[in-house]
Structure 1
Amino acid sequence: MRFHQAVTLTPGQMKYSDSAPPTCDPVAVSPWDIALCVTGTLISCENAIVIAILFYTPTLRAPMYVLIGSLAVADLLAGVGLILNFVFTYVLKTELATLIAVGLLIAAFSASVLNILAITVDRYLSLYNALTYHTERTVTFTYVVVILIWLVCIVLGLLPLLGWNCLRDESSCSICRPVTKNNAVVLAVTFLLIFALMMQLYLQICKIAFRHAQQIAVQHHFMAISTTKGVSTLSVILCTFALCWMPFAMYSIVADSSYPIIYTYATVLPATCSSVINPIIYAFRNPDIQKSLWLACCGCFPSNISLRPRTSSDV
């Protein structure tokens, strides 16, 4: 995915001295591209740790951990995609490399967003169907959902390679070449719909949590504190998700390749930072994952880590 604008030189503009052979000027590396590459490296390292913990800890096999693992894989691929995009932009510079990079980024970030939606739905169902959740939401069912998510995202990632690109018509490019303007608008509108659905689900989660707090009069004080903390956490999750992705989604709808490139970078970088924040929100805050991480690093874990079993409704 290339953000810089192409410059075309006519034969009359390419003049060389008769006494010296033509030389290739060194390509100036954009600091924005360096920032994206560094972000991709950080994303890859973070999510590789999450995947390793989930893979080597047999007790972390519940449906919610399958979804967290799928999210980590998506973000890991997004990080790898950012690194490859930097390499392809400044080293290979071929159309095929560009299409591979943009396809990987589209598939990875789409999978990241859809996995976050799946985690939100899982949390809602664990509260709405609390009595039957553990019998209905089996690991097999969760794997089927994850496979469907990845199939959809792989198809989206293959579209640029199958001809859905603007390499032959630069005027149809979006702010992220070689994605066409129409494709970018469709992806952005889909994201806005997903965000609206997430907001609705989290509002329902808050209502159910408050209703449970009122029904348990004996634990009213404890539940009130717990519910308030949960609502605060949900607010942080939604605000973080919106701040990372909303600028890029809105800008993709209104802008095209003729807009100043600085605005594209300014909206793309926060969107990529969502994959930096996701492991912190969905993985490293989880006491079970914290215990596994402490055990892997030093063979013990602090006594202040909760030993209470986690459920999908925990936020």
Structure 2
Amino acid sequence: MNEGLQANVSWRPDRATENVSTAVSSLDPILNADPQIIVNPWDIVLCTSGTVISCENAIVVLIIFHNHSLRAPMFLLIGSLALADLLAGLGLVINFIFTYLLQSDSAKLVTLGLVVASFSASVCSLLAITIDRYLSLYYALTYNSERTVTFTYVMLVVLWGTSICLGLLPVMGWNCLQDESTCSIIRPLTKNNVASLSVSFLLMFGLMLQLYVQICKIVMRHTHQIALQHHFLATSHYVTTRKGVSTLAIILGTFAACWMPFTLYSLIADYTYPSIYTYATLVPATYNSIINPVIYAFRNQEIQKALWLICCGCIPASVSQRVRSPSDV
């Protein structure tokens, strides 16, 4: 028994951490490569995610850019989301290339800035879409006015300006290249920088949650009014309301499931933590950019029509004749 106890004691956490770091590499996610390792499998996963993200969102950007009928505020925000996710995917691919082919501090900072700016723009675009959906329901009669278009452009300028500023921070000197003790789990971002981004995300998530609760109430009220006007059965009203609530739950639940693990982990961890844990929370966050086009773009009837015209030159009757209901939020 003493020998077994000694064996357990000899397996100390610091040695376990060292073994994990050696297996996965001493690489902190996004931008820190160990030239001794040929290819880190986690980097392959991130690069693959980036490739899928880029291809998928490039389709959405091209559809909105070439179709002049898709210039309403809603489509501008969807295009902003797709563009942000497209840049995020390209950032992951470029990071993979720079990590193994061009190892320099300048390349690390530029790539990190692109990834931070694009993912920040993606999250901010999701918040802007939520605000737009709330306004389209709350101010239904005046939503299509020139004021809404102006407000949408203001939101786009603010969100992209803020995101670009966040991406420039590492290049402007807010990094841990000179002091490794200040590094976060995403090297060379500082612990304070990542903490600020995480807190900002939690605040935006709270705002989105509140807005979606209000949207849910409005949808239920509108559905009930329509049911009374058309003398629908109670079961029909229940099914439509449940569909709307389920849609909102999927949207918000997907967003939280993808980003929340990485956000919470980045608040408590630092560069001394095993990188495998950071990868395990970072990879699901990138999946949000893969899911976004499915939720916000490909479910939209107008984008579906444009996509059908590009693919086969025709629009199926099931798509062209579908009527938008209050549950389609």
TM-score, normalised with respect to structure 1: 0.89
**Contact 1:126-1:313 within 8 A present in 2 as well:** no
**Among 106, 113, 116, which residue is 2:116 paired with?**
106
Distance 1:99 1:229, change over 3 A: same
Corresponding residue for 2:275?
A: 261
Read off the aligned partner of 1:33 and give its amino acid letter.
D
Q: CA deviation at 1:225?
A: 2.9
Corresponding residue for 1:252?
A: 266
**Contact 2:222-2:326 within 8 A present in 1 as well:** no
Corresponding residue for 1:226?
A: 240
Q: CA deviation at 1:169?
A: 0.8
Corresponding residue for 2:78?
A: 68
Task: Indicate whether 1:240 and 2:254 are aligned.
Answer: yes
Partners of 1:123 and 1:312 in 2: CA distance = 12
**Contact 1:50-1:279 within 8 A present in 2 as well:** yes
Q: CA deviation at 1:162?
A: 0.4
Corresponding residue for 2:87?
A: 77
**Contact 2:78-2:296 within 8 A present in 1 as well:** yes
**Among 60, 73, 88, which residue is 1:50 paired with?**
60
Distance 1:93 1:311, change over 3 A: farther
Partners of 1:124 and 1:70 in 2: CA distance = 18
**Among 290, 293, 300, which residue is 2:307 paired with?**
293
TM-score, normalised with respect to structure 2: 0.86
Corresponding residue for 2:287?
A: 273
What secondary structure, in the 3-state scheme, does the structure 1 residue paired with 2:42 have? helix
What secondary structure, in the 3-state scheme, does the structure 1 residue paired with 2:38 have? coil
Partners of 1:289 and 1:181 in 2: CA distance = 41
Q: CA deviation at 1:5?
A: 6.6
Q: CA deviation at 1:308?
A: 5.3
What secondary structure, in the 3-state scheme, does the structure 2 residue paired with 1:304 have? helix
Give % identity. 61
Distance 1:306 1:239, change over 3 A: farther
**Among 202, 209, 219, which residue is 1:199 paired with?**
209
**Contact 1:126-1:312 within 8 A present in 2 as well:** no
Partners of 2:154 and 2:42 in 1: CA distance = 38
Corresponding residue for 1:16?
A: none
Read off the aligned partner of 2:244 and give its amino acid letter.
G
What secondary structure, in the 3-state scheme, does the structure 1 residue paired with 2:229 have? coil
Read off the aligned partner of 1:167 and give its amino acid letter.
L
Partners of 1:118 and 1:309 in 2: CA distance = 25
Q: CA deviation at 1:191?
A: 0.4
Distance 1:187 1:273, change over 3 A: same
Distance 1:311 1:112, change over 3 A: farther
Distance 1:147 1:223, change over 3 A: farther
> How many matched pairs?
298
Q: CA deviation at 1:301?
A: 2.1
Q: CA deviation at 1:239?
A: 0.7
Distance 1:264 1:59, change over 3 A: same
Corresponding residue for 2:46?
A: 36
- Write the deviation string for residues 50-96 of structure 1: whole angstroms up to 9, x where unpaired: 01111111111111000000000000000000011111111111000
Q: CA deviation at 1:26?
A: 5.9
Partners of 1:29 and 1:6 in 2: CA distance = 10
**Contact 1:213-1:224 within 8 A present in 2 as well:** no
Structure 1 segments unaligned to the other structure (5+ residues): 8-24
**Contact 1:62-1:139 within 8 A present in 2 as well:** yes
**Contact 1:50-1:283 within 8 A present in 2 as well:** yes
Q: CA deviation at 1:212?
A: 1.7
Distance 1:312 1:116, change over 3 A: farther
**Contact 2:175-2:190 within 8 A present in 1 as well:** yes
- Write the deviation string for residues 84-142 of structure 1: whole angstroms up to 9, x where unpaired: 11111111110000000110011000000000000001111111111111125533331
Partners of 2:203 and 2:88 in 1: CA distance = 22
Partners of 2:145 and 2:306 in 1: CA distance = 26
